[in-house]
Amino acid sequence: MPDMTELIRVAQLSDTHFLAPGDTFEGGFGYDTSAAFEAVLADVESGEALDLVAVTGDVADHGRAEQYRVAAAAFSRLPAPVNVCPGNHDQHAVFGAGMGRPSIGTSRVLELGDWCFLFVDSNAGVLRVDETGLTHDPEDYEERLHRNGALGAREAARVRSMHDTSSAEHVFIWLHHPPDPQAPLSHDADYAEEWRAVMPDLPKVRGFGGGHTHVPDEHTFEGVPVFVAPAFKNNFDLEAATLLPPGYRRYEFEPEGTVRSETHLVGEDTWPRHPLGRSVMSLLRGEISYAEFDEIVARRNAAS
């Protein structure tokens, strides 16, 4: 455990979207995520020693038990303690069981040195609570799958409580959906407003680390940095209109509260930066919906 004066080093993996043998990707397209993990693992092991690996959701592409077994076997090989929070592709009960391993944590709060890391469920606003108090996904999984974040009153209160209870001077929030992302397809105005309502009560927050967008990015929200990690499944460069290789992020947390982060992309030869078509770019820019994009693909397939 780092002391109060030591630099803390963390790697962030996100949107790993692991598959079990025989599975196909939701959406029909993705890299070999197990091969992407091997490339990321090699890069992680070649760098400086880590204090933690944070995994920010979409662990499994369909949230199935078999996919979590693949993910758990991979994460157990990482050279540092691992802590995981869920994404919109994960399913609530199956995620809890699948990531409940001795070598993998799902803690909501971790304190390292003078830093408090909060792991937030940015899908909590779509969950249902039954008459026994048990939390469930909505009956229609699509309601969770296609959301761009929903904090909810219960999770917002939990964030405030965790922030206030910790004696650490600095707080960093790990979550799947970054607030106010710059990728138009992944933006949800109501979700951003949920975070704007919470931020005045969180004076110790020094930044966010998220995923979800598949567009590696860094921006600010309410005066603090937001770091968006690349995915394993597929990544996009919206400015160059190309694919990107898979990757991850590295972080350094200084004792006085400074955060530094850099994106690491891996396997440039294996996953080249192919140009993206006009319809794909229209989808990523939020100019057309998923349904409209599917219609375009169906028409093209019928014509061919």
Cα first-last separation, the chain: 59
Q: Which regions in the chain score pLDDT beneath 70?
A: 1-5
Q: Do 250 and 10 form a contact (C-beta atoms < 8 A)?
A: yes
pLDDT for res 2: 61
pLDDT for res 300: 86
pLDDT for res 301: 84
pLDDT for res 298: 86
Q: Do 177 and 149 form a contact (C-beta atoms < 8 A)?
A: yes
What residues are paired with 218 via a beta bridge? Answer: 227
Residue ranges of domains in the chain, CATH in brackets: 8-273 (3.60.21.10)
pLDDT for res 294: 85
User: Which alpha helices (H) appear in 24-179, and where do they start and end?
Assistant: 33-46, 65-75, 92-98, 141-145, 152-165
H or E segment and range at residue 190: helix 189-198
